[in-house]
Each structure stands twice: as structure tokens, then as C-alpha cells.
A and B are shown apart, each in its own frame.
Chain A
């Protein structure tokens, strides 16, 4: 079985895996990094989102062979309670998550978006987050939080 070296949250890990195994299972099953969640396995919901070289990607549909050698960041690597990312800080302040299963996707997608887009309009925020799913209906709180984060980063 081929070997791949993954650089995740600043540390290198080498694993053996099928080339077509999605990155999601390398992170969760091989490395015990549980923040990307399985939601659909079809790139339809975003719960599995991580950053690869700063871009938000769906790890359920990214083969591990494509992620090898790239810089992968998970929610843990984005920020911590002591050093929160502005998006995490805003989600905490707005008390966004209910069940929270989807929150990884919203935070990671919003963080990557706000990295490239300063002072976005509300419509641009909605467009950047389109397609992500939340079943608890926290969309209005999500929009408040991303607005707050965008303003704090402006």
C-alpha cells in the first residue's frame, strides 16, 4: 500500500492508505483528528471541511493522494480557546452552534473566505457560504457571527 506524508496543523504524519481514500478518513481514522465530520461523503454539506494551503476543501471528496505534501489545517489548527481565530471568537460570542455538527464547515469556510475578502457585503457572505448545510436552522446566527468576524478583521 502506498505511503503518504500529511502535514496537518503544523505536524507531519506518514500513513499507509489507498490512493483513492478520502482525506477525511486519513484525518479521523488514521490520525484521530476528529474535527472534520462525516455528513454526506458527497461534497454536498461541508461538515468535513479543512483548509489545504489556506483554501477550504471538502475532505470527504479529496483523495489522500492529492492532499499529500500540502499544508492541511483543521479546526484545531485554526485557533484555540487561548488564541481563537476571529471567526471562532465571533461564533462563540454569538452562541451560534446548536447541535454543532455542521459548525466545522461554516467556521472553516468563513475563515478561508475572510482571508481573501476584506469588508464583504452581506450578500457576498451569503454567496461564500452557499451550499453548506445546517439542520438546526442556525443560519441567522451564522450570518451575525460572520458579519461580526468580518468587521473585526476589517
Chain B
């Protein structure tokens, strides 16, 4: 094994005997040895990693470095760092000894990639058990070597010594002696997010924590700020050419013919085509871009597939249901039958785009002996099998290496571009780097579904809420699967004629309200165009959470005002769990919430009215309460959000600093979705193709963000990647109501919709 130590990097690059590039993040100084391949893999990397080998999860090098093999990836929120803190805690090793290898399918077990805010929640639990088991094994072996019972041993900074006789000691590195653990660990037989590990070892209790719960610094920041670490788009392979894809002017059109002479004047440019899969390659990147711009393609004359944008919500209301589901509690119909008063409202939410900061980019090297792809997708293990499906080869022939790309907050275009690069490389017989252009990154990524939501509340003669009925109807959140594991769920696969599972599913509001009679139901509708559509729908950060909770939390507010109750008090009255109540009270107190009936917080200066709104949600055990302060110009509809206050309870906090930064980011991203984001389209295709046609939040709109972290170290960690985004649109809309006195029932909360509402 060769080690390539670059003294200036905190993220290290190592070449193995196999030629595999291993990227490890290191906490340490500059002279330590690098991360290494799992010992269970063997020197060649040929042996298959198995979850039951402790060596598949962590290794201890001769210099004491502890390397974790993380089967998810960290997109910049510090989940990898949390794994390191959890394992360092269990092992009693310093954080400076921690390395993380992540997202390499040859070096890590499939833990599901970055997905569903499960990084700390599930992978953290697995690594806690792996760390505890490693410590148990190491202490047993130390006891043998030192000739004492394990209960007479103590560990300090990776050195085991006898209590009361510190001279009698042996280090973890000496125990392992470069051989690996060669020990087994139990698992639950499930790959992906739910993967859990079991063993006789008992992890530490929270009162023993010294590293978990402390604000450690992330390992990848210096490399990003100094530009010393490679991005996926920076990968270059010997003989590589640059590719660009060509998309049809009308969604769903097929390639009739291609005039190759139209790019003959561009050096090295070549058409790459297989049926409707069409692109160009050239040795120079600029030449590939030019060739893609000027290539003359004749497309089939297809009927414009989409409804006009101003008919979107009418279409959703009228389209036949493709699937339905729901959940009834109590006697809803009976309660409505005896209601003294019924309140109803209907809400609308547009398609939204990931519009990732950099459009998708990947490198693929397809060779007869095997395929290697460098990908920025958040789910590299699934991307490997998707590539295999697109190429028609066995999955174990594909090695996917995750390298940091532009932020991946769900099923964006990072997986699709990986397939495109692989298909191109297979066709041209050379390594190919494909980068999407901006119009593809915004226009052709999978979209967050558009939807409508209909809510009803039954009140008795005393104004008590006696029934709550909430119905959603919209495009499926998994029309295109949330992972690119199946070729039919990728653009390339669809263009090559493969079909995805095309599941039809929606969400209901998730919260702890105690409404006795409650109906939650949903229906999905089929896509406007099946297959390779620029409006295919999939997961985007907190899939359907912002949509559903914009409607449900607006409606809860509507009920509160209808019964003349303060909206914070109304929520608290309908909650029993003390953690939910504590979060609401904490957010209200920090935001300076003035309790009282409608309008007491409203003020006006000239055309500008101010308001404050509250919203609350749960997400897989995490509780979040938000208060938004807004200023609305009632003449122009202009909206400003000067402050957002967030109280957040996700159980045990592993790292308060990364948690706070993650929440700030998701709040500002959520604000962008709340006040700006709406995918525009006409009957032919998506017309949101850049930052002018798909505006997002600007730094001049950046709010003050106040965060209250509520720590419950005695509880398991739940997730934090998506939670704060969930009630955000609702909080902003509720604040606008207080400012204007009128309900806004169509997102985004932008000037056009505000003016329409008043």
C-alpha cells in the first residue's frame, strides 16, 4: 500500500495498491499516517465488504489513527464529523486521531447514502455500536496481554492501562498490530438507511460523554476555503474527453436525425447517440460546449405534453387519482354532522427545483474489465447499481467513488449525470466527464411535486374544535425514485427505454396534535409526461414536508383565529407532549411573541405592515417550532423577512456547532422556497432554466436567524437535516396573514400571490 502524504491537506488522498483513490477526511495535524482501506478488504480490495466484519467499519493503524468507513456521505453538514465524535467517545481516543473514508463503494458498506436525515439517527447508532464493540474487543485482548481482568483497565487517548498502575499499559495500535480486528459484529440484515449493528458491548451512557455534545470543527472546511481539495468536477483521468448532453425543445420528442456535419468544424467534436440518448464529446471542454450549442438535431413533432402553467392547479384538482391513502382517528363524519360551524380552506403549492449550485457533473471510465465512476450523488452505492443497469452489466463490476460536488439535497441531477457519463464512456470507449449546463441543472433535474391541499375543521357551538380533516392531492414524490439505483429511474435509462417502478405516494402532516376526530388523506395523480420529463417528480429536502405543512400549519392558524385564540396558545392547547410544548414556548419567548387575539402584533408604517407568524412540526421524532417576522408592502406586495426564530429538539445533540449551522442553512434555504421558488413551464417544456427564471434568496434578504437548541442527552438523536425547513413556509404565510389581515393560500409567498390575496 502506497501512502501519498500531502502536508498541506486536511483531506488526504491515498493511492492503494489497486490504484483506487481513497479520500479521507482527517482531524489530525500534518504528519499522521493516512486513512487506510478496511482490513477485511484485503490488499487487493477484491474481497467483498461484509457488515458482520468489524473491520468493515473501522480500522486502527500502527500510529494509532482510527479510520471510519462511512457508508453514507456528508454534504457539508458535518454528519461524518458526528460519526467521528461518536466513535472517539466510545473508544476514548482523541478527535485528532480520527479519519473518515466515505461514499466509496469498494471501501464502505451501503448505509443508504445521505438520506432522510438519518445520518446521526441511524448511521450514528451503528457507529456507536461498532465503536463500543471495538473497545470491548480491545479491552479483552489488553486484559490477556496485561494479565488482569478487564474491569481493572482504563483507557486514555487510545492507551489501555491498569487502574492504579499506569506503567502497565498497551496501546490500541499495539494490540491491533496492523492486522485488523478479525472479529465479528451482528447486524439486522438490512442494507441502506435502516442498517443497524448489534453486539454484546454496552455503549457509554450520556453522563459519561466527553466528546459527544461538544462543538468540534469540521474536517472539510479548510480544504474548501483554500481550494486545496478536489471536487468531483476536478477529477481527470488519462485520455478523458468532455461530454455535454442535448435535450429536446419539446419534452418527450424523439431524435429523428442528426446532422453531424454541423459540428465538423469543431476540433475533435463527435456525436454520441444511442436512440434518444444524444450528446457530444470533444477533447477540449469548450469545444464540447460549442458542439452542443450548434449541433443540428431534427426532433419528432410531438404534441406539447404539459398543461399551461396557469391551469396547473385546476389540472391537479380534476385529474384522476393514481393512488390514495390515509388515516382516520375517531368519528370524523359524525363530528362534522353535528358541527355548529365548519371552516374550510384550500391551498396550492408549485413545483420546485433543486437547482443545485453547480449543475451535475461526473466522470466515468467504462472498460471491459470494470467500470469506475466518480460521482457527487448523495447515494453512491445506488448510483453504482444504476450505472450497471444503464450499461447492462453486473452491479459488482461498477466501482463508484463519491467526491464532494455541489450540494445535494435530495434526488437532484448528480445521479443522472453519472449515468450519462457512463453511457457516453461505453459508447466512445474513453473516459468521459459530463457536466450539465445551467439550463439542464434547473430545467431537467427531478422536481419537488406540485400539490393542492383541502382542509376542513368542525367547531361546536362553544368554538371548540371537534374534528379536523386534511386532504392532499398532487404529483407523486417518487414518480422518479429517490435513489438512482434502477436504470429506469434515471434520465439515461429512460432514454434507453428502461422503466422505473413509478411509485405513487404522498405524505400527511406529521405532528402531535391531539385532535380527537381527525382524518388525514391523500391522492396522487399521474405525471404530465411519463419517463424522461423535465417535470418528473422526486424527493427534495424534506420531501413534501414544506408543501403539506404550509397548508396544515396555515389551517391550524386559521382555526385559531376563527375561535379567537392566540395561535401559540391554540397549538399548545392541542398538544400534550411536553417536548412539543417546550419548543413552542421557547420559540415564542425568544421571538418576543405577544400573546393575544388577531392583530395585536400588527403595525404599519406607510405601506409597510409587519406581522409575526408561528408554525410547528414534527419530523421522525424531531420537534421544531418557528416564529417568522415579516414586513409586507401592501401596495407592491414586496415581502421582507427580517427574522426567523427556531426552537429545535432532536434528542441528543452530538455537535451543537454543526447542528446550529445546519439549521441556519436549512432555514435560509427554506426561506428561499417560501418566498421565491416556483418552477415555470409552458405547454412544451420547463422554462425555468437559470437564476433569472428561477430566482432564489439573495444575501440582501438574509434574515437574522435565532436558534434555540433543546438538548435531550437521555434520548436518542433524531434527525436535523430537514426538520427546520418543514414548517417554514407555514410560519412565513401566517406572519403575512397577521400583516395583511388576509390569508395567502398559494405558495410561494411572493409579491404576485400576496397582492392576489389582498
Q: How far is the CB of B643 from chain A (nearest CB, A)?
A: 11
Interface string of A1-37 (1 = CB under 8 A from B): 0000000000000000110011001001100101101
B357 touches A99 (CB 8 A): yes
The interface residues of chain A lying within 8 Å CB-to-CB of B361 are 38
Interface pair B286/A81, CB less than 8 Å apart: no
Measured CB to CB, the closest approach of chain A to B182, in angstroms, equals 38
Q: Tell me how far the C-beta of A121 lies from the nearest C-beta in chain B, rounded to whole angstroms.
A: 13
Please provide the chain B residues from 356 to 392 with a CB less than 8 Å away from any CB of chain A in the complex. 356-359, 361
Which of B284, B286, B404, B702 meets A126, CB within 8 Å? B702
Residue of B nearest to A97 (CB): B224
User: CA separation between A150 and B696, bound complex, in Å?
Assistant: 26
Q: Given A98-B75, A135-B407 in contact, is the A29-B286 Cβ separation under 8 Å?
A: yes
| A99 partner residues in chain B, CB cutoff 8 A | 75-76, 357, 404-408
Checking A17, A29, A38, A81 against B228 with a beta-carbon cut-off of 8 angstroms, the contacting residue is A81
The interface residues of chain A lying within 8 Å CB-to-CB of B208 are none
Give the chain B neighbours of A153 by CB distance below 8 A. none
- Tell me whether B665 and A101 are in contact (CB under 8 A): no
Q: Is the CB of A75 within 8 A of B702?
A: no
**CA–CA, A107 to B691, complex, Å?**
20
A143 at the interface (CB under 8 A from B): yes
| Chain A, Cβ-Cβ closest to B220 | A100
Known contacts A29-B286, A138-B664, A141-B661: A101-B357 contact under CB 8 Å: yes
Which one of A51-59, A88-96, A112-120 is at the interface? A88-96
Say whether A148 faces chain B, with CB atoms less than 8 Å apart: no
- For the complex, is A69 an interface residue (Cβ under 8 Å from B)? no
Stretch at the interface among B145-153, B452-460, B574-582, B667-675: B667-675
Known interface pairs A37-B233, A81-B8; A102-B286 also in contact (CB < 8 Å)? no
Across the interface, do A97 and B221 meet the contact criterion of CB distance under 8 Å? yes
Contacts of A104 in B (CB 8 A): 227
In the complex, chain A residues whose CB is within 8 Å of the CB of B435: 38
Task: Give Cα A29–Cα B356 distance, bound, in whole angstroms.
Answer: 22
Closest to A128 in B: B699
On whether the beta carbons of B406 and A101 are closer than 8 Å, the reply is: yes
Q: What residues of chain B lie closer than 8 Å to A39, measured between beta carbons?
A: 357-359, 406, 438
Residue numbers in B under 8 Å from A138 (CB-CB): 661, 664-665, 668
When distances are taken between beta carbons in the complex, the residues of chain A under 8 Å from B408 are 99
Given A136-B665, A140-B668, residue A126 in contact with residue B225 (CB < 8 A): no
Contact A139 B699 (CB under 8 A): yes
Question: Are B225 and A98 neighbours in the complex by a CB distance under 8 Å?
Answer: no
A-contacting residues, B199-238, CB 8 Å: 217-218, 220-222, 224-228, 230-231, 233-234, 236
Residues in A with CB closer than 8 Å to B117 are: none
Report Cα–Cα, A127/B668, bound state, in Å: 18
CA of A84 to CA of B289, assembled, Å:
35
Mask for B251-262, Cβ within 8 A of A = 1, else 0?
A: 000000000000
Chain A residues with CB under 8 Å of B483's CB are none
Q: Is the CB of B664 within 8 A of A137?
A: yes
Known A-B contacts A98-B75, A135-B669; the reply to A25 vs B357 at CB < 8 A is no
Residue of A28, A37, A135, A143 touching B702 (CB-CB under 8 A): A143
User: Main SS of the interface on chain A?
Assistant: loop
Cα A107 to Cα B77 in complex, Å, equals 20
**Set of chain A residues within 8 Å of B75, measured between Cβ atoms:** 98-99
Q: Within the complex, which residue of A45, A79, A127 is in contact with B691, where a contact is CB–CB below 8 Å?
A: A45
Q: Which of chain A's residues 72-93 have a Cβ closer than 8 Å to chain B?
A: 74-76, 79-82, 84, 88, 91-92
- Distance, CA A28 to CA B358, complexed state (A): 15
Q: Which of B221, B662, B691 contacts A96 (CB 8 A)?
A: B221
What residues on A are CB-neighbors of B716 within 8 Å? none
Cβ of B32 within 8 Å of any chain A Cβ, yes or no, is no
The residues of B that contact A44 with a CB separation of less than 8 Å are 438, 690-692
Residues of chain B lying within 8 A (CB to CB) of residue A81: 8, 222, 226, 228
B512 is an interface residue with CB less than 8 A from chain A? no
A34 contacts which of B77, B222, B234 (Cβ < 8 Å)?
A: B234
Q: For residue A68, which residues in chain B have a CB less than 8 angstroms away from its CB? A: none
- Decide if A127 touches B700 in the complex (CB within 8 Å): yes
Find chain B residues with CB under 8 A from A76 CB: 226-228
- What sequence of 0s and 1s flags, for each residue 263-303 of chain B, a beta carbon within 8 Å of any chain A beta carbon? 00000000000000000000011100100000000000000
Size of chain B's interface in residues, with CB distance under 8 A? Answer: 64
Interchain pairs with CB closer than 8 A, number? 178
- Asked if B698 lies at the interface with its beta carbon under 8 angstroms from chain A, I say yes
Taking the complex as formed, is A132 at the interface, i.e. its CB lies under 8 A from any CB of chain B?
A: yes
Q: Which residues does chain B contribute within 8 Å of A45, judged by CB atoms?
A: 357, 691
Q: Which residues of A contact B704 (CB under 8 A)?
A: 140
Provide the residues of chain A in CB contact with B227, threshold 8 Å.
34-35, 74-76, 104
| Interface 0/1 of B653-668, CB less than 8 Å to A | 0000110011011111
Least Cβ–Cβ distance between B748 and chain A, in angstroms: 16
Q: Which residues of B contact A88 (CB under 8 A)?
A: 225-226
How far is A101 from B698 in the complex, measured between Cα atoms in Å? Answer: 16
Q: Given contacts A98-B661, A135-B669, is CB(A130)–CB(B699) below 8 Å?
A: yes
CB pair B286–A42 under 8 Å, yes or no, is: no
Any chain A CB within 8 A of the CB of B516?
A: no
| Interface hits, B667-691 → A, CB 8 Å | 667-672, 690-691
From A18, A32, A40, A80, residue with most partner B Cβ within 10 Å: A40
Expressed in whole angstroms, the minimum distance between the Cβ of A91 and any Cβ of chain B is 5
**Which chain B residues lie closer than 8 Å to A102 at the CB level?**
357, 406
Residues on B with C-beta less than 8 A from A84 are: 225-226
Question: In the complex, A98→B408 CA distance in Å?
Answer: 11
Asked if B639 is an interface residue, CB under 8 A from chain A, the answer is no
Cβ contacts under 8 Å, A74 to chain B: 227
Contact A101 B700 (CB under 8 A): no
Whether B20 sits at the interface, judged by CB under 8 Å, is: no
Are B690 and A42 in touch, CB under 8 angstroms?
Answer: yes
A142 to B666, CA, bound (A): 15
Name the one of B226, B234, B242, B355 contacting A135, with C-beta atoms under 8 angstroms. B355
B705 within 8 A of A: yes
B286 and A17 form a contact (CB under 8 A)? yes
Q: Which residues of B contact A92 (CB under 8 A)?
A: 221-222, 225
**Shortest Cβ gap from B366 to chain A (Å):** 22
Q: A81-B8, A88-B226, A101-B405 are in contact. Are A137 and B672 (CB under 8 A)?
A: yes
**A107 to B699 CA separation, bound complex (whole angstroms):** 14
Bound: A17/B287 CA distance, A: 10
Q: Is the CB of B286 within 8 A of A25?
A: yes
Whether A136 and B225, one on each chain, are in contact in the complex, defined by CB atoms closer than 8 angstroms, is no
Residues of B within 8 A of A140 (CB): 664, 668, 702-705
Contact of B572 with A by CB under 8 A: no
Q: Would you call B697 an interface residue if the criterion is a C-beta within 8 Å of the partner chain's C-beta atoms?
A: yes
- Contact in complex: B667, A126 (CB < 8 Å): no
Chain A residues within 8 Å of B665, by CB: 98, 136-138, 141
- A135 to B410 alpha-carbon distance, docked (Å): 13
Cβ–Cβ contact B669 & A137, under 8 A = yes
Q: Is there a chain A Cβ closer than 8 Å to B437's Cβ? A: yes
Q: Give A93 to B77 CA distance when docked, in angstroms.
A: 16
In the assembly, what is the distance between CA of A138 and CA of B703, in Å? 11
A38-B435, A81-B226, A129-B699 known; A134+B357 contact, CB < 8 A? yes
CB within 8 A of B699: which of A101, A126, A136? A126
Distance to closest chain B CB from A72 (angstroms):
14
| Sample of 5 further A-B pairs with CB below 8 A, known A98-B407, A102-B357 | A38-B435, A39-B359, A101-B405, A130-B698, A140-B703
Task: Write 13 A-B pairs (CB below 8 A) sorted by A numbering.
Answer: A21-B286, A22-B286, A38-B361, A41-B289, A81-B226, A84-B225, A92-B221, A98-B661, A99-B405, A100-B220, A126-B699, A139-B697, A142-B699
> When A and B form their complex, which 6 residue pairs have the shortest distance between CB atoms, in order from nearest?
A137-B668, A99-B407, A98-B76, A100-B224, A137-B669, A101-B406
Chain A residues packing against B (C-beta within 8 Å) = 17-18, 21-22, 25, 28-29, 32, 34-35, 37-42, 44-45, 47, 74-76, 79-82, 84, 88, 91-92, 95-104, 107, 126-127, 129-143
